Amino acid sequence: MKAQKNFRALAGLAGMALALSAQVAKAEDAAPAAPKEFTVTGSVSVLSDYRLRGVSQTDRGKTLQAGVTVTHKSGFYGSIFSSNLAGWGTFGGPNLEFDLIGGYAKAVGPVTIDAGLTWYMYPDGAAKTDFAEPYVKVSGAVGPVSYLAGVAYAPKQKALGNYSNTSYSYGQAYDNLYLWGDTSYVIPSTKLKLKGHLGYSKGNPGLGPNGTSVAPTGSYFDWQVGGEYPVGPFTFGVSWVDTDITAAKSAYLQPNFSVQNGRLKGASIAGSTALFSATVSF
């Protein structure tokens, strides 16, 4: 009898242990995985035009762009971006833009604050072209609507110098300010995302040291409206891009500020256009 009681007690303890181990295993399965030390993301895109703040950097021609970002779980990150160039914004060499970006992003309540610096480089290009531009961005979401507001300020640098055929232009260093806002909305029960952008540039009114300027005409607005839709690993987009830079306002920037070759030769590189894109992300 005593042996039977001991056996039943052991069996009961074994059952309790099994039940407890099952509960622990279930809890472990439900617990979120620990964040990775580093996360690597990237993308490759083909676009019908490379528009930097509304102004074409590829003579209104096609562009291939790629970027990679490495993010630490602390919030620090580093990125590399590259794109081909043509026409306005061409500095010789391989005609490439190669940007190094570093910053820190942190969630504060319902918003994320992101601060960093972009170093614009043009490998083997003309002298006085590379420049640095710090930025601060605030982003968040309200239901299906996402928003972002940003400010980028490049302090006075020779690469942003005032060069043009005007009496007040003698190559002095210049600064540049860019303010922008983005918003997007995912239509319920679909994958279609509608997007909008508005930006304002203020800086060097001249041509820049090598026939370019981050803020051609000195100050202007740019905007973009459109949408994107994911299909498998790809995201396809279409949008309308424009600026308020008129032919009269940019006359003193010619012929640099017009398409140099092809069927659009002579057209403004800041004029309105439909922009098509295909992106694969990883």
Give 184's strand partners: 146, 195
More confident residue, 170 or 55: 55
Give 219's strand partners: 202
The pLDDT of residue 220 is 97
Alpha carbons 134 and 178: distance in angstroms, whole number:
11
The pLDDT of residue 91 is 79
- For Cα atoms 209, 95, 98, give the angle at the middle one, nearest 5 degrees: 90
What CA–CA distances, in Å, run from 268 to 1, 60, 201, 253, 271?
101, 9, 18, 11, 5
Tell me, what amino acid is at 90? Answer: T
Q: What is the pLDDT of residues 248-261, one digit of tens each?
A: 999 988 888 999 88
Q: What is the pLDDT of residues 64-102, one digit of tens each?
A: 999 999 999 999 999 999 999 998 878 778 899 999 999
| pLDDT mean across residues, the chain | 87
The pLDDT of residue 2 is 41
